[in-house]
Amino acid sequence: TETVSFASGGNFHGQLLASPIDYVKMTLTSLSIASDKRSFSLLDSHLSYGLPGDLAFDTSKADAGYMIAQYAGAARVAENRVLSTPAANQEDVVSMGSVGAVHLRKVIKNLETLLAIELLCATRGIQITQEKLPIKLRKLGVGTSIAYNTILKALGDYKGDVYVRTEIE
């Protein structure tokens, strides 16, 4: 009789994909932290070189500026930190790479939100300061100008408190 032998070669094991997914999650979380810190710095009147606190339009009318947006961003950073805990190597043979991939999708979505918040804050900062600068310093760089004008076209001028979620989306 003929004997048939079988060797798996380990191709069923998902760690080869799970480990890079985990590294990408950690890297994107680092970017999330940096984006949130930049947003925070724009909102903090002690760190923003004279911008009004929270980038508020008129605090006498209870305008919170982008403070709530930054809080929402900070919550997403905290979530990304949890989601970036490596999922690989949780079991002996079968990796948890599929869980890592699901977490990666959420980390990416959270990073997109954080970058949107940062862009809103930066746009507001430019709106506040541009006319106060000497004329020779008002001109934005080519890329910054394109981004700024695109965002302004989508949002219009900031006139006070608005539903921040809509702006972020």
pLDDT 10s digits, 4-55: 665 555 556 677 788 899 999 999 999 999 999 999 999 999 999 889 999 9
What is the C-alpha end-to-end distance of the chain, expressed in Å? 68
pLDDT at 117: 97
Helix (H, G, I), strand (E, B) or coil at 150: helix
pLDDT 10s digits, 58-96: 777 878 889 999 999 999 999 999 999 987 655 544 667
Whole-prediction pTM: 0.85
| Dihedral over Cα of 158, 165, 108, 74: its sign | positive
pLDDT 10s digits, 99-150: 889 999 999 999 999 999 999 999 999 988 888 888 988 999 999 999 999 9
